[in-house]
Amino acid sequence: MNTYNSRNDVPEKEKWNLSDIYDSIEEWEEDYRKVEELTKELHSFNGNIKDGKALYNFLHKEEEVELLFKNVYVYAKLKGDLDTRETLAQSLLEKADQLGVKVNSATSFFTPFLLGLEKDTLERFIQDETGLDYFKKDLYDAFRYKDHVLTKENEELLSQLGESLSSPSRTFGMINNADIKFGEVTNDDGEKVELTRGQYSKLIEDEDRTKREEAYKAYYEPYVQLKNSIASTLSSAIKTNVTLSKLRHYPSALEKSLFGKKIPKEVYENLIQTTRANLDSMYKYTELRKETLAVDQLRQYDLAVPLVSGVKEDIPYDEAYETMMKALSPLGNDYLQVLKEMKDSRYIDVRETPGKRSGAYNLGLYGTHPFVLLNHQDDLDSLFTLAHEMGHAMHSYYSNKHQPQITAGYTIFVAEVASTVNEVLLINYLLKNAKNKDYRKYLLNHFIDQFKGTFFTQVMFAEFEKKTHERAEQGEPLNAESFSELYEALFQEYNGEALLLEEETKYGWARIPHFYRPFYVYQYATGFAAAIDIANKIMSGDEEVLANYLEFLKSGSSDYPIELLKKAGVDLTSPEPIENALNLFKELVEEFSAE
């Protein structure tokens, strides 16, 4: 595994080429000033949209500003994420955030104005100005929000509070990425060194149980120490969401989150209920893990170690990319050619370096290309992360190429489908080409653990979010104690009695960034279920499903997400895809047990 003490040590080919957006800070500042000027022009439309032509001019100008602002914001974010300690990059991001507030303020009048129109007035505007055909779907969709939009004055006030309302998330981000200092672990030379996230992902899988326990304790140490501060940020985020939901007259915070994409509340509730009704296979796997490891008491630091020893191997980044390409060959030559271009043209920032944002993501920028952040560790997990993020990147690439700006972005609900299809194709390729029985069993174990993390854990998180928001809605306290009590109970319920919980387990909520993006994580599970269905049909050679899937990748947000998935052959309003996924998990556990 390559480790780097400085970004300067990383090969150029493994670093983003941010000059694809701007060659210099001066160019960035020039666009920043352009957005400021254009924002003033947007202000001038307030109170002056009297006909279809004026309406078109405003929407056209708004789209121009949006594209320019995204360039400004994305450049600042990407630079900032490369080193969260670097003052200049963080100041650019702060400026971009402030600019975003100005843009939102300049356009905040529009939705109340639009919803104040009579429908026949809007129809006349569209009839009189042919340019409005481009915006027609969005305009009519906006009428769905008629009961949830405040007065013009209150909307402007809320837009001014934008930066303050996002403060809990930003504060947690700085704590989690820039300020966190993990405890110490013992290196191979017997010396004490500070744990990093990258080291933790390795050590928690180490065959030496003492090392796993030491890494686990060191990883959770700062979260336990900071539990009250982090509880304060999470409580503020939840209460803010609940308050905004009430102000906008939604029945609940959950329904506010689902409203925009027309996701029935039953999809969320059925996911939790169907999973809870099928936890027996999870309990069987927990028992199996305890037996295989031959421990008297199964602990949380025993949950990630592979159950098959002696077959783990390093997978260098270039080899990982080649393996991924072979695994994804069922998706066709065009798909593979674009993947190759993404690597060659430096769309990917590969290595973990000091101060770099943790984790991995894809950020698609319309008119430029996707940018993928990794913290690659040359192991099997990193191979799966690579395939996952490149699924996102390909979805962004195809949608941006085939959709106009207005519908190029895809919604979160469908976002995890492309990434998980890639993972399912990858595990099937690896299983099919396993060198021996032990390696096949190792891969089965890995996929079961991936399944557990992507599906069961996310459903548990989804239930945690649902219950914490309900508590806030009922005026119950939200603090470190109440978060911990709930999280500990859910963790036990989802993993079974064979697992003896650590004292640290209850503080798991304190380390989850997704909790600051309310009701996001359930979509990992629904997307996973949809992806399993699609991938299995593609692997069976169903050409129609493949063609429909590639069309889905090109569809952006041209329809509501539930409808887009139906076109791809998956109906998530039915429990069937969830049940199919859970049945697959049961089969995997039984196959692993029988090997």
Provide the annotated active-site residues. 389
- The full DSSP string for 343-390 is HHTT-EEEE--TTPPSS-EEEE-TTS-EEEEEEE-SSHHHHHHHHHHH
Edge to edge, the sheet with strand 348-351 lists 348-351, 370-376, 361-364
DSSP state for residue 151 in the 8-state scheme:
-
User: Regarding beta strands 348-351 and 370-376, do their DSSP bridges make them parallel or antiparallel, or are they unpaired?
Assistant: parallel
Compute the distance between CA of residue 560 and CA of residue 565 in angstroms, rounded to an integer: 9
Compute the distance between CA of residue 579 and CA of residue 576 in angstroms, rounded to an integer: 5
Strand extents, DSSP E, 187-249: 192-194
Measured distance between the N- and C-terminal CA atoms of the chain, rounded to whole angstroms: 31
Please answer whether residues 183 and 225 qualify as being in contact, where contact means their C-beta atoms are separated by less than 8 angstroms: no
Compute the distance between CA of residue 392 and CA of residue 531 in angstroms, rounded to an integer: 13
How many residues comprise the chain?
Answer: 595
What stretch of H or E contains 228? helix 227-247
Radius of gyration for the chain, computed over Cα atoms and rounded to the nearest angstrom:
24
Q: How far is CA 133 from CA 57, 148, 497, 555, in A?
A: 13, 25, 59, 18
Looking at the DSSP bridge assignments, the partners of residue 361 are: 373
